[in-house]
């Protein structure tokens, strides 16, 4: 356990940030799962409507350092390709 006053405060900050980071990570993971299930159910239009929310979640996570900027860009690109590849002919 921390002994000094500054170490105690740092621990409190760490706990708060960890909760926030876990929530952001859970948010984009849930949205990606939702898109993938919609695509597997052939509901491509509904999946496309959720894509902006997915982009927003990835961008916010990247902005705050939960994931890196290039990781967010790669994941956004791959989910977009996944949705577009599975659209009806």
Query: pLDDT of the chain along its 89 residues, tens only?
Result: 899 999 999 999 999 999 999 999 999 999 999 999 999 998 999 999 999 999 999 999 999 999 999 999 999 999 999 999 887 65
Give the per-residue pLDDT at 65. 93
CATH class of 5-85: mainly alpha
Residues written for the chain: 89
**Residue 62: how many CB atoms within 10 A of its CB?**
20
3-class DSSP state of 3: coil
How is residue 4 annotated by DSSP?
S
DSSP string, 20-86: HHHHHHHHHHHHHHHHHHHHHTT-HHHHHHHHHHHHHHHHHHHHTTSS-HHHHHHHHHHHHHHHHHT
Query: For position 89, what pLDDT does the model report?
Result: 59
Q: Where are the domains of the chain?
A: 5-85
């Amino acid at each position: 356990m921390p002994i000094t006053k500054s170490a105690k405060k740092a621990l409190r900050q760490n706990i708060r940030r960890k909760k926030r980071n876990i929530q952001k990570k859970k948010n984009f993971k849930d949205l990606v799962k939702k898109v993938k299930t919609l695509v597997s159910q052939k509901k491509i239009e509904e999946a496309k409507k959720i894509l902006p929310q997915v982009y927003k979640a990835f961008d916010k996570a990247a902005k705050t350092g939960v994931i890196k900027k290039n990781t967010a860009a790669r994941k956004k690109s791959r989910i977009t390709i996944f949705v577009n590849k599975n659209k009806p002919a």
